[in-house]
């Protein structure tokens, strides 16, 4: 796998407003002038259900957890539920006024997660350890762009934290994508033509993300993830065509997952612990059907090795009918037996959008 990286982050800012000098200290401590408020800025990103811009971030809300550094006292949220920040009346604000937090003389560690509420996302925050446990939904449409951010050692006089000497203005959350994004393209060679009804990947479904290391651990639970096309993509020729649209991109746990070990000389049935693709398709050559028929799609299975990194968008291009190269035929059946040995399937994979990279995968 060959990769090159261009990192993109999402930014959310926490701001304060100064008070007049004639306020008493007691009143100022819990006044709106001393509250920790929020605004947002989001650079261009990718995918319809990913966070692409400030407007889309405003629709998701996010959770904030905060701890005093010297005392470990939690001042925002509980161990499993942060303070909800919502975009209301043109600005970020506390969803519940009773949960407003205020600056004190203590340094504060802030942690944030977006979206604020998500099925199968469990938050566990203490002053010592901050983790997210997530299981990606089996339904593509229900998968969301999980993002994380933190600001350490922020104070009234140093609002960006970590001794940056930003005495006024914003305390910024730079949100990063915690998941990997997967999309597919298909093309053909020569006189081959393909119709695609679905593409699915067999990959691990859950894991635990730790803020301090920005890494996933305990990744497990293989599951087949379909892109969920609303209708078949037909008449695919020599120009690579994206299968579906932004809503058919998968958002899955970053992981390393070994590929299914079947090959042309040693058939191995579909595994429960190795990665592969499943493509429901029809294949024609020079106008005649050579796989499936006019009325029915058939499944083809293809081994792949997964090495997904958080924040990367992987674009897998599947090519049918390449006559060059030494590798096998047009994939395998569920028992690991090769099919259409004379119709070579090749892979090319780019990584774009969130982080640019590229990889070549070939049967």
Stated as kind and residue range, the H or E segment containing 83 is strand 83-88
Q: Which of 59, 49, 42 is nearest to 8 (CA)?
A: 42
* Strand 313-320 versus strand 180-188 pairing type: parallel
The total of other beta-carbon atoms located within 10 Å of residue 150's CB is 19
Distance CA 319, CA 321 (A): 7
Distance CA 329, CA 265 (A): 12
- Per-residue pLDDT of 302-342, as tens digits, reads 999 999 999 999 999 999 887 654 444 568 999 999 887 77
- Per-residue pLDDT of 53-108, as tens digits, reads 566 777 788 899 999 999 999 999 999 999 998 888 877 778 999 998 888 889 99
The total of other beta-carbon atoms located within 10 Å of residue 275's CB is 22
Q: How far is CA 97 from CA 27, 31, 105, 301, 328, in A?
A: 17, 12, 22, 54, 63
Give the pLDDT confidence score for residue 357 in this predicted structure.
Answer: 39
Buried b / exposed e over 219-256, threshold 16 CB at 10 Å, is beebbebbbbbeeebeebeeebbebbeeebbbbbbbbe
Give the pLDDT confidence score for residue 90 in this predicted structure.
Answer: 78
Give the pLDDT confidence score for residue 234 in this predicted structure.
Answer: 97
Give the pLDDT confidence score for residue 157 in this predicted structure.
Answer: 78
Give the pLDDT confidence score for residue 176 in this predicted structure.
Answer: 87
Low-confidence ranges of the chain (pLDDT < 50): 1-28, 37-48, 325-328, 356-363
Q: Are 215 and 207 in contact (CB under 8 A)?
A: no
What is the Rg, in whole angstroms, of the alpha carbon atoms belonging to the chain? 25
């Amino acid at each position: 796998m060959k990769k090159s990286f261009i990192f993109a982050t999402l930014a959310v800012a926490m701001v304060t407003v100064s008070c007049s000098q004639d306020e008493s200290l007691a009143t100022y401590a819990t006044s709106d002038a001393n509250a920790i408020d929020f605004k947002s800025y989001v650079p261009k990103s990718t995918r319809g259900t990913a966070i692409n811009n400030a407007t889309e971030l405003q629709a998701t809300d996010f959770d904030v957890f905060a701890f005093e550094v010297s005392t470990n006292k939690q001042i925002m949220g509980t161990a499993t539920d942060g303070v909800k920040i919502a975009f209301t009346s043109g600005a970020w604000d506390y969803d519940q006024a009773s949960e407003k937090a205020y600056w004190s003389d203590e340094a504060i560690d802030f942690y944030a997660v977006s979206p604020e509420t998500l099925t199968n996302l469990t938050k566990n925050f203490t002053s010592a350890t901050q983790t997210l446990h997530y299981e990606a939904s089996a339904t593509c449409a229900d998968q969301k762009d999980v993002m994380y951010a933190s600001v350490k050692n922020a104070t009234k006089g140093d609002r960006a934290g970590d001794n940056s000497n930003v005495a006024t203005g914003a305390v910024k959350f730079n949100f990063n994508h915690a998941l990997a994004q997967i999309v597919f393209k298909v093309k053909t060679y020569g006189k081959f033509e393909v119709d695609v009804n679905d593409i699915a990947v067999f990959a691990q479904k859950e894991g635990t993300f730790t803020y301090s290391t920005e890494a996933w651990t305990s990744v497990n639970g293989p599951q087949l993830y379909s892109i969920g096309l609303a209708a078949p993509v037909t008449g695919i020729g020599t120009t690579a065509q994206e299968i579906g649209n932004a809503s058919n991109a998968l958002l899955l746990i970053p992981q390393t997952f070994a590929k299914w070990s079947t090959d042309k000389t040693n058939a191995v049935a579909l595994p429960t612990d190795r990665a592969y693709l499943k493509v429901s398709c029809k294949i024609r050559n020079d106008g005649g059907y050579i796989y499936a028929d006019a009325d029915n799609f058939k499944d083809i299975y293809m081994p792949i090795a997964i090495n997904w990194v958080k924040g990367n968008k992987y674009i897998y291009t599947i090519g049918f009918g390449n006559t060059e190269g030494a590798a096998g035929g047009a994939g395998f059946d569920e028992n690991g037996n090769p099919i259409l040995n004379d119709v070579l399937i090749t892979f090319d994979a780019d990584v774009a959008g969130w982080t640019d990279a590229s990889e070549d995968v070939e049967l």
